Structure 1
């Protein structure tokens, strides 16, 4: 486990400083993905693997001033970039592992996760931990501002059937972890899987 985490931290620490400048046009797509969650004023929402916090302003707008926005990431350099960008004004930032969240069970109204599914060390366990901290019947949004095929092309690879995010893999994985896949979109400019916490 420690080895996995070191790899993820090294990957993102090396990229944290210029992350936003490399992907400057994602703001509107993040906001649209946040809007797919049924968030309302006063809700509590977690951005799991929040990185530089690009979703935090949209999450704050959705839950309004009296809501709670938490951004959790494993990489300190990413959170430092979020603070430099002023995004800590939109939510509380926590240095923590998604697999062991310092949160009470059933304390949240939604979870937003951008790009997280590519970096989970133990996807089933990690998704079950996200299920633990939300109330039954609330939503999880797994988002990426680029679809599976376009992302594979960017990395010089082909999409394979064993990709975790393929619908036929993601649906049973979510089900085992306490979620029901509700909607699935995989287009060139957006990947969005919406799941509901099983009752």
Structure 2
């Protein structure tokens, strides 16, 4: 498995995420075995082209890697980044290294150069970003201008809340009135919003630097 060392000291927040997913890594795919068609449909909606470079941010066990590989073809590049080693181990065990390169990396601080990818696919990531605005801005940093973002979950907000025994709250970041300005502040323009029982999918386009005047000067990373 290929790994990239994190370029910052592991925080308590990251450690908490790692502990949460380490406990659940074994058997994760079996628990959600019926999600495959929803993943494939979401990848199709991202609209990639053969030869593109795509990042699966917070890839987990890599369930999107094979559809992403199919979308970009043999000459494209597929990267799967996750902060939890146990999830990447499950991805490798499932044979998904054949579809993409696995990176041990925090999605909020990626070891990628500015504008180095054409698209980002992120399944279930938003709720695990300790600082969501900084997180979506980091995703924008690594995507070229005009590139694409898909924020996906195989069930909608209401279904997910019910699964966890909760009720939807007005402050839910994934609600359209909250998510649209969050993305805009991070350098994205939302182009599509779907929140249905069987799918949550938001598509956005990376804006030019000139349309994002508050964006700090980016720093290249190896």
Q: Does TM-score exceed 0.5, indicating one fold? A: yes
Provide, for residues 43-102 of structure 1, a one-character-per-residue CA deviation record: whole Å limited to 9, x for no partner. 000000000000000000000001000000000000000000001110000000111111
Q: Given the alignment of the two structures, is residue 70 of structure 1 paired with residue 79 of structure 2, yes or no?
A: yes
- Per the alignment, residue 54 of structure 1 pairs with 63
Q: Given the alignment of the two structures, is residue 190 of structure 1 paired with residue 190 of structure 2, yes or no?
A: no
Which contiguous aligned blocks of 4+ residues in structure 1 show a shift greater than 4 angstroms?
none
Q: Secondary structure at the match of 1:70?
A: strand
For 2:108 and 2:167, how far apart are their aligned partners in 1?
29
Q: Given the alignment of the two structures, is residue 138 of structure 1 paired with residue 115 of structure 2, yes or no?
A: no
For 2:146 and 2:173, how far apart are their aligned partners in 1?
23
Q: Report the Cα offset of residue 118 of structure 1.
A: 1.1
- Per the alignment, residue 164 of structure 2 pairs with 155
- Per the alignment, residue 29 of structure 2 pairs with 20
Structure 2 gaps of 5+ residues are: 1-9, 209-222
Q: Given the alignment of the two structures, is residue 80 of structure 1 paired with residue 89 of structure 2, yes or no?
A: yes
Q: Secondary structure at the match of 1:72?
A: strand
Provide, for residues 89-122 of structure 1, a one-character-per-residue CA deviation record: whole Å limited to 9, x for no partner. 1000000011111111011110000000110111
Provide, for residues 5-31 of structure 1, a one-character-per-residue CA deviation record: whole Å limited to 9, x for no partner. 111111100000110010001111100
Provide, for residues 147-172 of structure 1, a one-character-per-residue CA deviation record: whole Å limited to 9, x for no partner. 00000000000011100100000000
Structure 1 gaps of 5+ residues are: none
Q: TM-score, normalised by structure 1?
A: 0.99
Give 1 or 2 for the bigger CA radius of gyration. Answer: 2
Q: Report the Cα offset of residue 38 of structure 1.
A: 1.7
